[in-house]
Structure 1
Amino acid sequence: MKHVARLALTALLFASGAAYAQQGEIKVGEINSYSALPGFTEPYRKGMELALKQINDAGGIKGKKLVVITKDDGGKPGDALTAANELVSRDGVVMIAGGFLSNIGLALSDFAKQKKVLYVAAEPLTDAIVWSKGNDYTFRLRTSNYMQASMLAEEAAKLPAKKWATIAPNYEFGQSFVAAFKEILSKKRPDVEFVAEQWPPLNKIDAGPVLQAIDAAKPDAILNATFAGDLVKLVREGNTRGVFKDRAVVSYLTGEPEYLDPLKTETPEGWIVTGYPWYAISTPEHQAFLDAYQQLNKDYPRLGSVVGYATVKTIAAVLTATDDHSTDGLVKAMKNLKVDTPFGAVVYRAGDHQSTMGAYVGKTTQKDGKGIMTDIKFKKGADYLPPEAEAAKLRPAN
């Protein structure tokens, strides 16, 4: 009940403009898995709140207050669709945004197509959302499965490992990431083979049998795409069994503080990961974000904080770019839209509606009893995408 109350308060804070600014406001809907995945979505919410405060303190959208109405989908596609319907039909929002799990993102994307409303997919990583199931009304912010698979495969190709095993949650996100990584690594290294696959259900991993099966295949290296509680269980059991010893591990998302922090002294050494080393980024745009975030929240940001912040910045940018806030006007303005984010400027490509947001790649290690990233490189998103004309051919014909 406390969490429900906190969510209600959040919605009230975001929509507070309704109390005193019935005229001169622009309402936007946002949907996410707040109760199901608080480790990511709570920092995400704080990032949104910071961006919203900065925008409205600076005069809003051409003098109009930006109001974000939030809804919790509970990690369920059906609840996400109910929330989207309420936001569009009852609350009168001009667009929707958000989403965490890839299956929910795809459901919201289809809703956007059917209802002809703009959807900015904040977090869902599946490539289908902009390629095989892409549509005119959906644009995606985060560095995609294909992009991050390309970044990790680039590092994996440098390893002597030839025999690989994979572990990933058995739903759209895990399936599409593993497929992309296998395809890209095999092109870079035709000598590699994949000798085992494990597909545990999301949030229900039984790490012992999973790791036993992986170990039995005797791979040289392991690709992991589990996250959150599943990752903690996998690491703990793998450390106990010695499965990771003398094996290279490439692990998707593990360097994000949301997932790395809970490991503490169990953090494995030398895993190649994508993540967010907020403590080691010295760019002016990130420093400005970090200072403002810490001042407002008395806490350090997580990757979710960056995504939430950049989502609201995207919303403000598109609403500012055009005075035509009809769906057609907003969709047109989203194409080639440039948005400043803590990771630098990104562009939403007209050809496939994917943003060019980059990602950090490094290795895991421990410092002061806590997991961190080291050997860090920032990889520009545009460098890991197919050319727009080629990507456009991956999308359904309209």
Structure 2
Amino acid sequence: MVRVSGYVRSTLAAVTAAVAVAAGPAQAADTIKVGEINSYTALPAFTEPYKKGWELALEQINAAGGVNGAKIEVISKDDAGKPGDAVTAANELVSREGVDLLMGTFFSHIGLAVADYAKQRQVFFVAAEPLTDAIVWQKGNDYTFRLRPSVYMQANMLADEAAKLPAKRWATVAPNYEYGTSAVAAFKEALTARRPDIQWVEEQWPPQGKIDAGSVVQALARSEPEAIFNVTFGPDLIKLVREGTTRGLFEGREVVSLLTGEPEYIDPLGAETPEGWIVTGYPWDKIDTPEHKAFLDAYQAKFNDYPRLGSIVGYATMMSVGEILKKAGSTETPALIEAAKGIAVATPLGPITYRAVDHQSTLGAFVGRTAVVDGKGTMVDFEYRDGADYLPPPDEVRLLRATN
């Protein structure tokens, strides 16, 4: 039995009902246009399940009557993993397609670019996946809200477990862009606060998608760490695991690894999955809460496939948009902003809220260890960590946002 925040659980029917026709002002138009942007060609392993997630939510919202009588239409564009393309797509969606709001993005630097566009053009934007803290803190703005738990939140979840390890000498490896650098900074700060005796003996910064795994593994081994914090994902993670296993890098060493337990990244490893790593992830086949079971049944019935973490993100993002629109009773940007502050949204992982102070949702993450079962990588000994428990107090956030 998975412990999920201790909330009283509801079925998917309750989730759907949350965005059904409500007693409120009717929308001016019969259709609400939502502009959606993501890195579909650059990272299909995550974004394809993500798209299925929001498509399922959209179908449920519209089948239940839409939002205050208006149906939602999503116009989707691919940013090809490039910030410039994402901004161009956002501008086309707003200027040419006349969308009422924006949602989506995956990579942190792309999310930041679209968030800045939203600020400049005064367009409401729900960032789905970008993990950088800056999008809601140092570079946060009135127009941007973010769903996924940030690197700060997930790093602190992992640091809780890492602090229990006897290891004192730590090395890090992360992709050399906003997500990687901010994740390492957050984890180092969190673990050092819990364990002042920690020594940081090596940092490796391979370019995203172009890791030279042999040289990275060699450099890590030379520093003789007792534990490693890994932030690589996707094909880079596979290369790191294979090279590290071949060279014995992980033998007798603890590894703490961000995102590795997500099906998008652990499934391709298969029997090569290293055992015993402490990870964040999504053990979809072992969660037995009513609302997740209802989501899983609906997802599998529609797509004849199992969900990935991207599926949860896409679904919860679209449900968030529906709930915000319903509460706002309007598609005007100021009304959407006010409606989103403090709003509660039902998701397959339990209820969440978007904090008024920084526009960060309280969606959490599962923390556990990796294992190989029947030749496949999986998560074991896991527990859901409520995102609300891993956010800094409002006064600290106000100081961070004041610098913007």
Give the structure-2-normalised TM-score: 0.92
Q: 1:45 aligns with which of 51, 56, 63?
A: 51
Q: Distance in 2 between matches of 1:351 and 1:362?
A: 30
Residue 23 of structure 1, CA deviation:
5.8
Map Cα deviations across residues 36-66 of structure 1 (whole Å, 9 max, x no partner): 1000000000001100110011111112111
Residue 325 of structure 1, CA deviation:
1.6
Q: Does 1:278 align with 2:278?
A: no
Match of residue 17 from structure 2: none
> Which amino acid is 2:335 matched to?
G
Please say if residues 56 and 66 of structure 1, whose CA atoms lie closer than 8 Å, have aligned partners that are also in contact: yes
| Corresponding residue SS for 1:393 | helix
Relative contact order (C-alpha < 8 Å, sep 6+): which is higher? 2
| Corresponding residue SS for 1:341 | coil
Aligned runs of 1:36-185 on 2, under 5 Å? Answer: 36-185=42-191
Please say if residues 361 and 379 of structure 1, whose CA atoms lie closer than 8 Å, have aligned partners that are also in contact: yes
Please say if residues 123 and 142 of structure 1, whose CA atoms lie closer than 8 Å, have aligned partners that are also in contact: yes
Change (3 A) 1:23 1:327: closer
Map Cα deviations across residues 285-322 of structure 1 (whole Å, 9 max, x no partner): 11111110011011100000000000100110000001
Please say if residues 133 and 396 of structure 1, whose CA atoms lie closer than 8 Å, have aligned partners that are also in contact: no
Match of residue 359 from structure 2: 353
Please say if residues 349 and 355 of structure 1, whose CA atoms lie closer than 8 Å, have aligned partners that are also in contact: yes
Please say if residues 31 and 73 of structure 2, whose CA atoms lie closer than 8 Å, have aligned partners that are also in contact: yes
How many pairs are equivalent?
377
Q: Distance in 2 between matches of 1:309 and 1:79?
A: 24
> Which amino acid is 1:203 matched to?
G
> Which amino acid is 1:168 matched to?
A
Match of residue 253 from structure 2: 247
Tell me how large the CA RMSD over aligned residues is.
1.0
Q: 2:370 aligns with which of 352, 364, 370?
A: 364
Q: Does 1:186 align with 2:192?
A: yes
Change (3 A) 1:102 1:264: same
Please say if residues 36 and 104 of structure 2, whose CA atoms lie closer than 8 Å, have aligned partners that are also in contact: yes
> Which amino acid is 1:305 matched to?
S
Unaligned stretches of 5+ residues in structure 1: 1-21
Change (3 A) 1:23 1:189: closer
Q: Does 1:26 align with 2:32?
A: yes
Q: Distance in 2 between matches of 1:281 and 1:392?
A: 36
Percent of aligned pairs sharing the same letter: 65
Q: Distance in 1 between matches of 2:227 and 2:66?
A: 50
Please say if residues 363 and 386 of structure 2, whose CA atoms lie closer than 8 Å, have aligned partners that are also in contact: yes
Please say if residues 248 and 271 of structure 1, whose CA atoms lie closer than 8 Å, have aligned partners that are also in contact: yes
Please say if residues 198 and 214 of structure 1, whose CA atoms lie closer than 8 Å, have aligned partners that are also in contact: yes
| Corresponding residue SS for 2:49 | helix
| Corresponding residue SS for 1:159 | coil
Give the structure-1-normalised TM-score: 0.94
Q: Does 1:305 align with 2:311?
A: yes
Q: Distance in 2 between matches of 1:27 and 1:267?
A: 42
Please say if residues 346 and 356 of structure 1, whose CA atoms lie closer than 8 Å, have aligned partners that are also in contact: yes
Q: Distance in 1 between matches of 2:159 and 2:153?
A: 10
Unaligned stretches of 5+ residues in structure 2: 1-27
Q: Distance in 1 between matches of 2:293 and 2:402?
A: 40
| Corresponding residue SS for 1:202 | coil
Please say if residues 138 and 403 of structure 2, whose CA atoms lie closer than 8 Å, have aligned partners that are also in contact: no
| Corresponding residue SS for 2:355 | coil
